[in-house]
Structure 1
Amino acid sequence: MAIIGIDIGTTHCKAGLFQENGEVIKIAVRPMVTHYDQEGNPFFQPEDVWKKIYECLDEVMSNRNVKVSVIGITSMAETGLLLDRETGRPKTAFIPWFSRCAIKEAIQIEKEDDPYYRFQKTGLHTSYKYGLAKILSLKAKDDGLLKKAVWLSASDYIAYRLTGKLATDYTLAARTFAFRIDQKAWDFEWLTHFDLADQLFPQAFPSGTIMGETSLTDLQRIGIGFGIPVAISGHDHVCASLAVGAIKPGIVFDSIGTAETLVGSLEERDLSKNDYESGLSFGSHIVPNSYFWMGGISSSGGSIEWFRSQLSDQTLSYEEIIRLSSLADIEPTGILYYPYLSGSGAPNQDPDAKAAFIGVNASHQRQDLLKAMMEGTGFEMESIKRSAEKVTKSPINQVNVVGGGTKNKVWLQIKADITNCKLTIPSHLSEATLLGAAMMAGIGSKVYQNADEATSCLRNQQTLITPNEKAHRVYHKIYEDGYMKLQHSLRDYYHRMTEFVTK
């Protein structure tokens, strides 16, 4: 029997057909198309997303003789829409996680309750990204949109199209800012405060729970019959952490793309003031009785993309980037780069922070600037690591890495040297998120008894990058005496100049 994973991402949607040992049978990918309304706000068309998922399923099921035991769905966490409960039709387009349409509502939400008290319930710091702010933004434009409506994440919507059932999982529910992770329940008192109906959200279940079965006639045409169990597997990054085996304290999942996200685990417990002040976000893990912590670098690979396009007459190829990386001196550059092209993320979230180079002289060449950018993302990774170690009270010694950034071994070595962590790159795993979604559904349908059994079934081939102790000592001093100390003055400057500088 085979298992299917579905992933609705920011730039692509995918379906993957896997053997139960994680071996890929077939992967299908379609691009996501971002549209913009008259006010410049981005959106995805629901029917277009469903059509692309259907095409992906058709492609992976090209061998109609394959038998599928379960389908698991994951997606970008904060993207959602309103669906009419009676007609089953979308009342709005998908509002993506990166839309800034609800900034005003997020500011208002923060004024409605003590931020620390709200954090203890949700594990989150207020943001325009979350579902509640988006819903209030829609309500402000047209109160009638909420009548008989239900808010669904991208995963929830695709699950609904496959099964006709409304549901969500704990990890995605938690990214609405209306779900209590301490009680695993919707916060109806909080919803009432905003004059929102109890029925605005679907029932939430543990990640991987079978929420329905395939019931769409059109699916039979592509080899997916009636009655195949379907599960909402959860938050995309958390699903990926399962596939790479980063589900225990001390082992961290790191996804390096345009943005970089680090995810770790801790035992479920009451969230404290230290957790709040860490700047990290927390949520219900797909592994029972666990929370996850999450930190991010919004312009990690994005910094390299900026370098590719801005510091050359022609956009540099990725091969050229790797070649330039190898030309830099083996010693630390001594240049400080702050990777805040899109503001800074956890643990020091600040939308007004700006990127900067400090310490450049006439002898520095392009490869030195490139290496400095890689060092800057490494210093941010160290900042996240230290915050996570403080709240979990346990050392982080291993980081399991996936994503496009793993192709650049110089960059990975820099990260290992700065953080003094072993980095492991699963050599067999090109689609961690897809596989994690499929595996989580497999756990829910008893293909695997638990997460440990699921990960033990996978081939364990990996590349290991170990830190250089001498380089780490130098980087440690640069981080302590330069990177951290100077950025406070820079942040203060940017805040004071906000009203004068618009970009």
Structure 2
Amino acid sequence: MKSTGSTLLGLDIGTTHCKAALFSERGDLLKLAKTKTEVYTDRGWAYFDPERLWTSVVRLIREITEQGGDCTDTTGHPADMRAIAAIGIASMAETGLLVDPNSGRARSPFLPWYSRCAVTQAERIAAESDLAERFAAHGLHPSFKHGLAKLLWLQENDPGALSGSMWLSASDYVAYRLTGRMATDYTLAARTYAFRLDRRDWDRDWVRHFGLEPSLFPEAIPSGSAVGSIHPDAATALGLPAGLPVTIAGHDHVAATLAVGVVNPGQVMDSMGTAETLVGVLPERALTAQDRMSGLAFGIHPAKGRYFWMGGLSASGGAVEWFRSVLSEPALDYERILERLAGFDPAAGPTGILFFPYLTGSGAPRPDGRARAAFVGLTADHGQGDLLRAVLEGTAYELEWIRRTGEQATGAAIRDLIVTGGGTHNPAWLQIKASVSGCPLRQPERPEAALLGAALLAGVACGLYADVDQAAAAAASAGEVRSVQPQPQAHSRYRQLFEEGYVPLQEPLRALYRGVLSGE
């Protein structure tokens, strides 16, 4: 890669925050702007307002561009903030809306990935599927999160909205507002349960089976491809040059793998956000029965010739958010949470409380949209601090279950984890995770991995980097890596609770949820 002095603009449309950031071509963060993602509720269902979300994106980009002038990156190299070479957009994966492709008008709100409105539709999809055949084609297990389930929910609740409309993710929608072109990338298309990985195309017969038209879905293009150029009106409104290349960087967790160098088989990233996800890389190949039995999801990685595998917990940071707002009066702020964890002894081991963190259902290795959360093992001696630590331990147990499943599915040992995301600001949580898994955690000095990944893919699209591997190498060449080591004695006790408590109790608790508590 030859240095050009160019900068790259990354956008991340997230569940909790929308962000914009400017990076040097070496991956150094030059400027960051963020705002809270506004959530609304209608008849009990959460949604994001498309126009207000777009207004937030405009405000963030203006906050970056209105500063103007030159600045210096973290190593003292000059960077011209006006020399933006391209824009990359990452977003929460399954969140989507319907748009009229002729007028550009939104015909539905954004339905969030975590909304459980489509649980019944996901169960219908599963009942009408040859699950082995569908997994081999799509790399997924039926879930209320997926675009197809949400479209069937809309079909039942607002059938007129689907006629002549197109389903766009959050990244797709922002890219459309910037360029006027509707498209999606492979990583987002693969989260619809309507996209064939083996053909890199929409599964048209499968879509028609449900009375839907394949034209509901936009053209799918590889991650790191330019979807188009920013059109003059948008450029003027945003203070950007007309004709600037725009790329859909896709699934935020997958984009983040580039920023932390997880692009080769055997490497695994733990992204700790509102949802927590383990993402690994494997050579592109036909998916097997063993892959399906793992409960993991698979998709096309931006790096050529590679797939990714993924397993996650919908409510990880979300469980902490739930704890601080529901189990505290007044609600704990994050500074007070860290204060309460400050005296945590790394060698002390587990609380003895098992928290099953299924506030929004469970994913791999036991996908179940109806799974519920639970505390087991409480005594009168336990206080608020114990419950807080138990929440952190429960999310760590769940990720350990996914880690072991990933090892079995890929046949590759996972000896360490590269961690990123907002949860890394909680040192007690990192120590618990290391001790539960017995694996060292490595934390690259990349505070905004999804944003940087989006910027790197924009750099690939505009030719700043030859390919994804070169882009990831450029980002990996700078910055320190911190390490958190497991405590052997604590690991032994955590392992016993995990193997003799957390895993064996899964089935009886789930059976209870399926039976008495669900009214069956």
Alignment match, 2:455? 438
For the pair 1:10 / 2:27, whether they are aligned, the reply is no
The more displaced of 311-320 and 105-114 is 311-320
Alignment match, 1:486? 505
For this pair of structures, how many residues does the alignment match? 499
The more displaced of 337-346 and 380-389 is 337-346
> 77, 94, 98: which one pairs with 1:82?
98
Distance in 2, matches of 1:104 and 1:378, equals 29
Deviation digits for residues 356-404 of structure 1, max 9, x if unmatched?
A: 3333445444433333332222211110001111111101122111223
Tell whether the 8 Å contact from 1:250 to 1:397 is kept in structure 2 after alignment: no
> 283, 295, 312: which one pairs with 1:296?
312
Tell whether the 8 Å contact from 2:94 to 2:113 is kept in structure 1 after alignment: yes
Deviation digits for residues 111-151 of structure 1, max 9, x if unmatched?
A: 22211211111111111221112222223344443333222
Change (3 A) 1:23 1:85: same
Deviation digits for residues 35-86 of structure 1, max 9, x if unmatched?
A: 233x322222222222211111111111445111111111111111222222
Tell whether the 8 Å contact from 2:49 to 2:109 is kept in structure 1 after alignment: yes
> 154, 169, 172: which one pairs with 1:138?
154
Tell whether the 8 Å contact from 1:214 to 1:229 is kept in structure 2 after alignment: yes
Deviation digits for residues 217-244 of structure 1, max 9, x if unmatched?
A: 2423543111111111111110112111
For 1:320-335, list aligned pairs within 5 A: 320-329=336-345, 330-332=347-349, 333-335=351-353
The more displaced of 158-167 and 473-482 is 473-482
Distance in 1, matches of 2:437 and 2:308, equals 20
- How far 1:166 moved relative to its partner? 1.8
Alignment match, 1:273? 289
For the pair 1:449 / 2:466, whether they are aligned, the reply is yes
For the pair 1:343 / 2:361, whether they are aligned, the reply is yes
For the pair 1:50 / 2:51, whether they are aligned, the reply is no
Distance in 2, matches of 1:105 and 1:472, equals 41
- In the alignment, residue 110 of structure 1 is paired with which amino acid? A
Change (3 A) 1:95 1:486: closer
For the pair 1:21 / 2:26, whether they are aligned, the reply is yes
Distance in 1, matches of 2:412 and 2:308, equals 14
SS at match of 1:78: coil
Alignment match, 2:75? none
For the pair 1:465 / 2:481, whether they are aligned, the reply is no
- In the alignment, residue 504 of structure 2 is paired with which amino acid? K
- In the alignment, residue 162 of structure 1 is paired with which amino acid? L
Change (3 A) 1:499 1:171: closer
Tell whether the 8 Å contact from 2:435 to 2:487 is kept in structure 1 after alignment: yes
The more displaced of 289-298 and 434-443 is 289-298
Distance in 2, matches of 1:141 and 1:482, equals 42
Distance in 1, matches of 2:515 and 2:210, equals 34
Distance in 1, matches of 2:209 and 2:163, equals 17
Distance in 1, matches of 2:159 and 2:297, equals 31
Tell whether the 8 Å contact from 2:114 to 2:360 is kept in structure 1 after alignment: no
Distance in 1, matches of 2:86 and 2:311, equals 31
For 1:17-416, list aligned pairs within 5 A: 17-37=22-42, 39-64=43-68, 66-329=82-345, 330-332=347-349, 333-416=351-434
The more displaced of 441-450 and 202-211 is 441-450
Distance in 1, matches of 2:508 and 2:343, equals 32
Deviation digits for residues 175-227 of structure 1, max 9, x if unmatched?
A: 11111011111111112222332322111111010121111324235431111
Tell whether the 8 Å contact from 2:269 to 2:278 is kept in structure 1 after alignment: yes
Tell whether the 8 Å contact from 2:138 to 2:197 is kept in structure 1 after alignment: yes
CA RMSD of aligned residues (A): 2.1
The more displaced of 450-459 and 155-164 is 450-459
Distance in 1, matches of 2:157 and 2:497, equals 50
- How far 1:497 moved relative to its partner? 1.6
The more displaced of 324-333 and 456-465 is 324-333
The more displaced of 206-215 and 447-456 is 447-456
Tell whether the 8 Å contact from 1:78 to 1:97 is kept in structure 2 after alignment: yes
Distance in 2, matches of 1:431 and 1:485, equals 37
Deviation digits for residues 470-492 of structure 1, max 9, x if unmatched?
A: 33233222222222223332222
Tell whether the 8 Å contact from 1:426 to 1:460 is kept in structure 2 after alignment: yes
Distance in 2, matches of 1:136 and 1:86, equals 22
Distance in 2, matches of 1:56 and 1:322, equals 29
Distance in 2, matches of 1:487 and 1:451, equals 40
Tell whether the 8 Å contact from 1:213 to 1:227 is kept in structure 2 after alignment: yes
- How far 1:431 moved relative to its partner? 1.4
- How far 1:102 moved relative to its partner? 2.4
- In the alignment, residue 411 of structure 1 is paired with which amino acid? W
The more displaced of 417-426 and 219-228 is 219-228
Change (3 A) 1:197 1:470: same
Alignment match, 2:442? 424
Distance in 1, matches of 2:108 and 2:379, equals 53
Deviation digits for residues 446-492 of structure 1, max 9, x if unmatched?
A: 21122332222232312111222333233222222222223332222
SS at match of 2:52: helix
The more displaced of 444-453 and 141-150 is 141-150
SS at match of 2:99: strand
Q: Which runs of 5+ in 2 are unaligned?
A: 1-5, 70-81
Tell whether the 8 Å contact from 2:16 to 2:274 is kept in structure 1 after alignment: no
SS at match of 2:495: helix
The more displaced of 81-90 and 394-403 is 81-90
Change (3 A) 1:226 1:128: same
Tell whether the 8 Å contact from 1:44 to 1:95 is kept in structure 2 after alignment: yes
Deviation digits for residues 303-341 of structure 1, max 9, x if unmatched?
A: 333443455443334333233324345322333332233
The more displaced of 141-150 and 80-89 is 141-150
Change (3 A) 1:177 1:158: same
Change (3 A) 1:445 1:197: same
Change (3 A) 1:188 1:14: same
Query: TM-score if structure 1 supplies the norm length?
Result: 0.93
Alignment match, 1:496? 515
Change (3 A) 1:312 1:220: closer
Tell whether the 8 Å contact from 2:126 to 2:142 is kept in structure 1 after alignment: yes
Percent identical: 48
